[in-house]
């Protein structure tokens, strides 16, 4: 009897041991930069399986004038569902909207019909100036807030941590800016590695004016850390608040992957942030003719010995040129809609994969 009990205990112990080992070896933090043709939809899946979607692309057929329609025909919501399926995600634990423009928030009503969204994270309603600047912003917000009423709602301020992975999987998401305010002091205790101090700011000038001065500068921006790996997604943050993330003080710390602000438009061309946070990889979530503008691309070209640029699309923006070779460009035309997928380990090593070709490159600091 004792012997049988011991055997059962041994079998259970072995099973637990195997499971734990498989998890530590196989589980990564995965980030899908989904092609929504010049908007944003970035799906983050933690090693414990929690999902955080940052923005949901355009509504319907994908223009600023489009209105949400049939979920079955919603271009961007369907692309998000495809990425979720690839990641084994069946519901969105957290949806964070960076701001209320149609290319970021427009796809929510359709997505919510396809995947349950449990918690909504955002900032205050758009101002009257936002509607004047980009017509339709208020309508996007109204359609979104009707959906939001069905879930939990969090409105964090700059400096707050998102309640992601409360089970302690080692993932930390800090809101570094929101509503045109940046966090008041650097992320506490955050250095690239134990014993290594935060890099000093390397600032030039006073920043670049925002192309759109109302809702973009109010973008809710986050810095994610998983062990030693870090990722910065600032939405379309631009103008003084973008500059203030790293100048005069480095509030962010070294960052492995930077999703270039505002799809790589020219108001993301200030070298200060790139020189201060020193990304190994910069990704432009551009469309063929949106974002990836000439000054930002020229800067990324200039920095190519230290920063590997990946592009969601090749660029046909006026006067601009691709920085990435074609194996680091997810889509060479408008026929494919491939994502860029990052898989990160807690030790800081990570890989980036081109969803169109499967080409993968590994990185380590
Ligand atoms: Zn945008």
Number of domains in the chain: 1
Q: What is the DSSP-derived secondary structure letter of residue 162?
A: P
277 Cα–ligand 1 center, Å: 22
Q: How far apart are CA 200 and CA 332, in angstroms?
A: 38
Token couple for 307:
């920063």
For residue 17, being part of any structural domain is answered with no
- Ligand 1 centre from 34 Cα, in Å? 13
pLDDT of res. 283:
99
Taking the centre of ligand 1 as the mean of its atom positions, its distance from the CA of residue 39, in whole angstroms, is: 5
Give 56-92 pLDDT, tens digit per residue.
999 999 999 999 999 999 999 999 999 999 999 999 9
- pTM of structure: 0.91
Q: How far is the CA of 306 from the centre of ligand 1 (A)?
A: 26
196-224 confidence digits (pLDDT tens):
567 789 998 899 999 999 999 999 999 99
DSSP secondary structure code for residue 344 in this structure: E
pLDDT at position 56? 98
Residues 258/235, Cβ–Cβ less than 8 Å = no
We report the CATH number of the domain holding residue 193 as 3.60.15.10
Q: How far is the CA of 147 from the centre of ligand 1 (A)?
A: 21
Q: Can you tell me whether residue 356 is helix, strand or coil?
A: coil
* Distance from Cα 239 to the centre of ligand 1, integer Å: 14
Q: Please give the full DSSP string across 32-66, using - where no structure is assigned.
A: EE---SSS--EEEE-TTS-EEEE----STTSSTT-
- For residue 21, tell me if it sits in a domain: no
Lowest mean pLDDT among 9-18, 152-161, 193-202, 283-292: 9-18
- Is 291 within the bounds of a domain? yes
What pLDDT does 197 receive? 61
Q: Does pLDDT of 25 surpass 90?
A: no
E strand residue ranges, 155-265? 171-178, 181-182, 221-226, 229-233, 257-259
Beta strand 360-363 with 350-354 is antiparallel
Q: How far is the CA of 187 from the centre of ligand 1 (A)?
A: 26
Ligand 1 centre to CA of 23 (Å) is: 36
Question: Hey, is 153 helix, strand or coil?
Answer: strand
Distance 215 CA to ligand 1 centre (A): 10
Distance 92 CA to ligand 1 centre (A): 21
Query: Residue 192: which pLDDT band, with cuts at 50, 70 and 90?
Result: low
For residue 286, give both structure tokens: 């551009």
Q: Which residues of 278-300 are buried (b: 16+ CB within 10 A; e: fewer)?
A: bbbbbbbbbbbebbbbebbbbbb
For residue 147, the surrounding DSSP H or E stretch is helix 137-148
CA of 260 to the centre of ligand 1 (A): 11
How far is the C-alpha of 271 from the C-alpha of 320, rounded, in Å? 17
Domain membership of residue 283 as a residue range: 28-363
Residue 65 counted as domain residue = yes
Counting every residue written for the chain, the total comes to: 365
Neighbouring CB atoms inside 10 A of 155's CB total 13
In a domain, 280, yes or no: yes
| CA–CA gap between residue 147 and residue 330 (Å, rounded) | 31
In the reported structure, the alpha carbon of residue 58 is separated from the centroid of ligand 1 by a whole-number distance in angstroms of: 10
Cα 189 to ligand 1 centroid, rounded to whole Å:
32
Ligand 1: distance of its center to the CA of 291 in Å? 9
| 19 in a structural domain | no
């Amino acid at each position: 009897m004792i012997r049988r009990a011991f055997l059962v205990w041994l079998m259970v112990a072995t099973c637990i041991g195997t499971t734990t080992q498989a998890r530590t070896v196989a589980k990564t933090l995965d980030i899908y930069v989904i092609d929504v043709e010049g908007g944003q939809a970035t799906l983050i899946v933690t090693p414990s399986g929690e999902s955080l979607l940052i923005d949901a692309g355009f509504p319907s057929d994908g223009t600023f004038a489009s209105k949400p329609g049939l979920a079955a025909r919603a271009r961007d919501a369907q692309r998000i569902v495809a990425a979720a399926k690839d990641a084994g995600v069946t519901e969105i634990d957290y949806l964070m909207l960076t701001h209320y423009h149609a290319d970021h928030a427009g796809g929510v009503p359709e997505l919510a019909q396809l995947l349950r969204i449990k918690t909504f994270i955002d900032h205050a309603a758009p101002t009257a100036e936002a509607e004047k600047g980009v017509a339709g912003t208020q309508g996007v917000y109204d359609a979104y807030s009707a959906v939001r009423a069905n879930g939990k709602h969090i409105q964090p301020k700059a400096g707050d941590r998102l309640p992601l992975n409360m089970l302690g999987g080692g993932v930390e998401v800090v809101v570094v800016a929101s509503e045109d305010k940046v966090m008041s002091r650097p992320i506490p205790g955050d250095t690239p590695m134990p014993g290594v101090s935060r890099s000093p700011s390397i600032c030039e000038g006073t920043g670049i004016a925002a192309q759109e001065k109302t809702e973009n500068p109010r973008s809710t921006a986050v810095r994610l850390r998983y062990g030693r790996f870090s990722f910065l997604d600032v939405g379309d943050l631009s103008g003084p608040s973008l500059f203030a993330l790293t100048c005069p003080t480095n509030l962010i710390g070294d960052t492995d992957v930077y999703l270039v602000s505002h799809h790589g438009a020219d108001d993301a061309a200030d070298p200060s942030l790139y020189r201060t946070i020193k990304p190994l990889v910069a990704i432009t979530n551009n469309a063929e003719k949106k974002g990836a503008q000439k000054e930002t691309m020229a800067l990324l070209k200039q920095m190519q010995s230290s920063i590997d640029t990946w592009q969601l699309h090749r660029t046909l923006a006026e006067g601009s040129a691709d920085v990435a070779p074609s194996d680091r460009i997810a889509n060479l035309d408008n026929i494919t809609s491939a994502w860029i997928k990052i898989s990160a380990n807690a030790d800081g090593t990570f890989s980036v994969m081109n969803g169109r070709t499967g080409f993968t490159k590994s990185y380590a600091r």
